[in-house]
Amino acid sequence: MLHIENASFAGKKVLVRVDFNVPLNEQYQVSDDTRIRATIPSIQKIIAGGGAVILMSHLGRPKGGPEAKYSLKHIVPVLEHLIGRQVLFAGDCIGETAKHAASNLKSGEILLLENLRFHPEEEKGDVEFARQLSVLGDIYMNDAFGTAHRAHASTAVIAQFFPENKLFGYVMQGEINAIDKVLLQPERPFTAIMGGAKVSSKISIIENVLDKVDHLIIGGGMMFTFVRALGGQTGSSLVEEDRLDLALQLIEMARQKGVQLHIPTDTIAADAFNEKANTQVCAVGNIPDGWMGLDIGPASIAQFSNVITASRTILWNGPMGVFEMEKFSGGTRALGEAIVKATNSGAYSLVGGGDSVAAVNKFGIAEAVSYVSTGGGALLEYMEGIELPGVKAIRG
């Protein structure tokens, strides 16, 4: 396996799997270029080393063939602006169109291939499709952590055609290093913060981190399943009735492993799920009928903030409340600020999962934590201890 820092790109065509699956507005303009910006250092490294860059990605979920709204040509203007040079575009990712464009590519040039998912073979992990992609380049670089959990042709299968010439880009390497630093070599105390709506979507992660952390903070909608399991009155709050036994098992598992489990003691309750609702602070286990908890309360914020600021490693996955509504954003904002304070004092903080990333961006603290993962589903699976196909394919 090559490493991006010492690989030789001179005179080589580098086939790079990127994650340009970005949101577009109604005019097909990129509305969030975070994932594109993340890949620029890898592209620049190849060009600086005398190589040519062939980029491939998917965009959206086209239904079995080309669809104009999912064409990667919409990405070209943004990519050109960010990289500061011309980006060539091929109207297909395989076949004569792609081969012709790739064969004429000179060192220092960038070529973007059309959407991989315009061919159903991509998602099927088709070996012949992967081979047709592989003939376009001399070196294969995977820099798409967001799709590393998919065993697709361009993310996992293709690597077999580059036995000596495959490597991770900076995005992939950075993600893996950050998660490994947290899960494999944490400085203690190590605190994990788990939020979001449902316990069911976080079971495997919670079970995996209970073997590693000193403190586990529970927040978001999932906290009410724990509260109800412990006999609390949760009003109209979100509760997974079929997961009460599971919540009790997780509480017992934490006790057996010596992990301090922190469940909120108070909540901001509302009489409706909207910004104009009436609110009150009440104990999590004493929410009146017709009221629902939509954020953690001030006592919980104070307690959790103390745990966080005393930590040396912090993993944050999931908000504390309905942070999209200003009225219920206080808990998520406060814990974000506590994470920043801990980070400034030398702690290592990893933020991952779509809602957590949205929260740190909303509150303007993304630059103040150690690492913000672009991974989404890939991050969650990696945190669950699952070996990702896209990672395994490079590591061999």
Confidence grade of residue 354 (pLDDT, cut at 50, 70, 90): low
User: What mean pLDDT do residues 118-124 have?
Assistant: 97
Domains of the chain, by residue range, sit at 13-170, 186-383
* pLDDT given for residue 11 in this prediction: 97
Enter the pTM of the model.
0.86
User: What mean pLDDT do residues 170-198 have?
Assistant: 92
- Rounded to an integer, what distance in angstroms lies between the CA atom of residue 283 and that of residue 299? 10
Annotated active-site residue in 12, 17, 35, 117: 35
For the question of residue 377 being annotated catalytic, the response is yes
Annotated active-site residue in 49, 341, 354, 362: 354
User: What mean pLDDT do residues 354-367 have?
Assistant: 89
The CATH classification of domain 186-383, taken from the options 3.40.50.1110, 3.10.580.10, 3.40.50.1260, 3.40.50.300: 3.40.50.1260
Annotated active-site residue in 198, 327, 341, 362: 198
Q: Please give the backbone phi and psi of residue 59, each rounded to the nearest 5 degrees, phi first.
A: -150, 115
Q: Residue 28: which region, alpha, beta or left (left: phi > 0; alpha: psi -120 to 50)?
A: left
Which residues, other chains included, contact 367 with Cβ-Cβ below 8 Å and sequence gap of 6+?
Answer: none
Share of the chain above pLDDT 70, in %: 99
List, for residues 291-333, the tens digit of each pLDDT value: 999 999 999 999 999 999 999 999 999 999 999 999 999 999 9
* pLDDT given for residue 34 in this prediction: 85
- Rounded to an integer, what distance in angstroms lies between the CA atom of residue 194 and that of residue 293? 17
* Domain 13-170 in this protein, CATH class: alpha beta
Q: If you search the block for the tokens 């009460």, which residue do you land on?
A: 244
- Rounded to an integer, what distance in angstroms lies between the CA atom of residue 270 and that of residue 236? 9
Q: Distances in Å between the alpha carbon of 263 and those of 210, 216, 219, 247?
A: 15, 9, 7, 11
- Please indicate whether the domains covering 13-170 and 186-383 agree at the CATH topology level: yes
* Average pLDDT across the chain, whole number: 95
For the question of residue 354 being annotated catalytic, the response is yes
For the question of residue 212 being annotated catalytic, the response is no
List, for residues 68-93, the tens digit of each pLDDT value: 999 999 999 999 999 999 999 999 99
Q: If you search the block for the tokens 């920043």, which residue do you land on?
A: 340
- Rounded to an integer, what distance in angstroms lies between the CA atom of residue 98 and that of residue 348? 43
List, for residues 334-345, the tens digit of each pLDDT value: 999 999 999 999
List, for residues 85-118, the tens digit of each pLDDT value: 999 999 999 999 999 999 999 999 999 999 999 9
Nearest partner of 56 among 146, 141, 166, judged by Cα: 141
* pLDDT given for residue 233 in this prediction: 98
- Rounded to an integer, what distance in angstroms lies between the CA atom of residue 213 and that of residue 117? 39
